[in-house]
Amino acid sequence: MVELTRLNVPNYEEVVEVKDPSSGLHAIISIHNTLQGPAVGGCRMLPYESFDDALTDANDLAGGMTFKSLIHQCPFGGGKSSMIGDPKTLTREMLLAMGRAVERLEGRYIIAEDMNIGPDSVAIMAEETDYIAGINKDGYSGNPSPVTAKGVYLSIKACVQRALGKHTLEGVRIGVAGIGAVGSELCKLLIQDGAVVIITDTRQKVLEAFAQEHGLECTPPDQLHKLELDVYSPCGGSKMVTYALIEELQAGIICGAANVQLADPSIGAVLSDKGILYVPDVIANGGGIINISAEFQKDPHENKLIRVPYDRDIAMARAETIPKTLNTILDYAEHNNLPTNIAMEQMAKGLLASDRSTQSINPGLAKAIAALLQIRVQ
């Protein structure tokens, strides 16, 4: 039987440790906030060095999902789950046990794919729970990578226009760190637009094969950020942007698909002081949650979500709003002399507060939120 142990984590609604002795599953499900709707977030599997590392990762990502849904006006709260172990050891029995764990949360958390846990894995979980999204099945959204990559691509274009005054990516030098599901799709979009793309990945064989297939320059992971780049695009694991990296960084823009990119939130202020335009991942990679939102709509008569047939064209059209969202937040950051990550957090928290009390928001923030809410996602 799956064992759920509730952990006391301040400022989180519910965090549970999941164990299933029969399958060997050991995981964490983190629910940060459900004021906007059920917590939605992917499940990843990594060989964490410790339980605390896995807990921190799940909690950081769950908080980010709350902000992401708020910023992109999706009817969800924030959640995330982490399975602890080498992905090579993943079994069907582990996935079924994870599905049973999600089912026991009674809809407070909706699980989807993430790093090393793809739509087919989530489909196995669906044998034990209905609280899933993003599987490869009629009516569901399936692989979100094309929509996520589209949002990152559009964010890069918006930043290049804003910071460099260029309306195309022709000749713009972009370093992509991580060519997984989203990073590889992003590279294809950048190449089509004439960008000079340099890539890296920790998987040497994957890196060399992708570089050869697309005629790209590749470099070791610890060298990419040192090259003369216009844009550095982190698309791998969490906390890739460290103090050490930014001391050597040659690019004037950071915009990528990875979640929780800053090793410490204070790095946002350092980037701002250095004149480096940083796009918080919550904004740039919002295509993933936008994609899932196309599976649902709010019931007009009851305070709950109902499933609707998924349409990829609708999801892609919604992703087209990301540059407007990005520029609204960058304008707010610029006008208030704030690091972009702090500006994003203020606006997300302001959106959450605006649902409860407009009196709790200062006039400047209220004006920025009003501008954000004009970006209607139909």
Q: How do strand 14-20 and strand 39-46 relate by DSSP bridges?
A: unpaired
Domains of the chain plus CATH, in order, are: 3-125 (3.40.50.10860), 144-287+318-378 (3.40.50.720)
| pLDDT given for residue 189 in this prediction | 98
Catalytic residues: 80
Q: Over 60: is that where the pLDDT of 270 sits?
A: yes
- What percent of the chain has pLDDT above 90? 87
pLDDT for the residue 357: 52
Indicate if the pLDDT at residue 319 is higher than 50. yes
- 238 vs 286: CA distance, rounded Å: 16
pLDDT value at 301 more than 90: no
Query: According to the model, what pLDDT value does residue 377 have?
Result: 45
Residues 308-312 have a mean pLDDT of 93
Q: 95-140, pLDDT tens digit by residue?
A: 999 999 999 999 999 999 999 999 999 999 999 999 999 999 888 9
Average pLDDT score over the chain:
94
pLDDT over 50 at 282, yes or no: yes
With bands split at pLDDT 50, 70 and 90, how would you rate the model's confidence at 373?
Answer: confident
| pLDDT over threshold 90, residue 372 | no
Residue 354's pLDDT is 60
pLDDT on residue 360: 61
Q: How confident is the model over 286-311, as a mean pLDDT?
A: 89
Contact partners, residue 2, CB within 8 Å, separation at least 6? 18, 19, 20, 25, 97, 100, 101, 104
Rounded distance between C-alpha atoms, residue 146 and residue 198, angstroms: 20
State yes or no: pLDDT of 376 exceeds 80: no
Instruction: Give per-residue pLDDT as tens, 28-42.
Output: 999 999 988 999 999
pTM here is 0.93
Tokens for 188, please give them: 């294809």
